[in-house]
A and B are shown apart, each in its own frame.
Chain A
Amino acid sequence: METISAEIFTLTYGSMVRQLIADYEDVEEVNKQLDKMGFSIGQRLIDEFLAKSKTQRCSDFREAAEKVAKVGFRMFLNTTAAVTNWNAEGTECSLILEDNPLTDFVELPEALSQLKYSNLLCGVIRGALEMVNMDVECTFVRDVLQGDDVYEMRLKLLSSSPETYPFKDDD
């Protein structure tokens, strides 16, 4: 796969977040926009992921989460995440990132302490999994920038539906 300098990537992301803050002036709105942008990215990224990793199917949500954490993060961010904290039904888990290349060189000022700086990642995961018929909810629950020791994303499976025939017979 093509690679680019991690620093350019990190700095580009940083200036994009900066611009969003300037444009929207509201931290909650910026969080929302980042998630939305990520969602659109994820919808496209899924095909690059599937095509290059030659993934055919994931038997269940557990396997899908592992694939995202191990293969996806490795492919696009050159890092991996650990999948832990499964709930009993196997529909919720946490992705723990020790290393997040998006946040190299980043400090959050006091006024922006509620900013979910890496929220784009949540959107990407949501967008990508939606394309393979898994509706998920994804949120940051721990963030090093906000004083926690690791990055933790909570991933929750809302529904995983079989493919449905999109046309009616009399169409």
Chain B
Amino acid sequence: MAMLSGWHRRMCEEDFKLMFGLFWSMRALATALDPKNPTKQQMGAPMRIGDGCSFNSFRTSSYKLHFLESPSGLKFVLTTDPSVGSMSEQLQYIYASLFVELVVKNPLYTPGEPFLFEPFSAALNKYMRTLGLLS
């Protein structure tokens, strides 16, 4: 259940699984390391939706990956230049105003299936341009 903005790279199925595993483990690890969590859960212990820590981004030497997960399991991934600040609000906007309006409400969309809808791509590109992230 991931929606990936693969602008630079075509993802194959194996990549999706690896990516899913990465986010899964990131959350498990982040939760296990959480110094504020009194229960000291074991790493990899099963978690309910929304439990534990959600992770927002990681930065590498050449890019930054932003991440948003909805309680329904949708995952939004955005890669930008490493100098870009937090994109949480922008990802939330993409979820609420672009994805819900132009994908979920599109009768051709089957939840959980890959999709390619021109109006959504166009609106997303336009939004990215207004943010100055896409030239």
Contacts and interface: CB of A to CB of B under 8 A. Distances in A.
B49 A163 contact: yes
B38 interface: no
A160 interface: yes
Contacts of B111: 43-44, 131
A52 B70 CA distance: 11
A54 B100 CA distance: 13
B20 interface: yes
Contacts of A165: 24
A51 B70 contact: yes
> Which of B20, B46, B48, B51 has the largest number of chain A CB atoms within 10 A?
B48
A162 B46 contact: yes
Contacts, number: 60
A48 B70 CA distance: 11
Contact of A47 (B47, B49, B70, B92): B70
A46 interface: yes
Nearest to B111: A43
A165 B45 CA distance: 11
Interface in A52-68: 52, 54-58
A55 B46 contact: no
9 contacts: A52-B100, A55-B71, A57-B48, A57-B50, A132-B72, A133-B48, A160-B48, A163-B73, A164-B46
Which 9 pairs of residues, A with B, have the shortest CB-CB distance? A57-B50, A162-B46, A51-B96, A131-B72, A48-B100, A51-B95, A51-B100, A44-B104, A47-B104
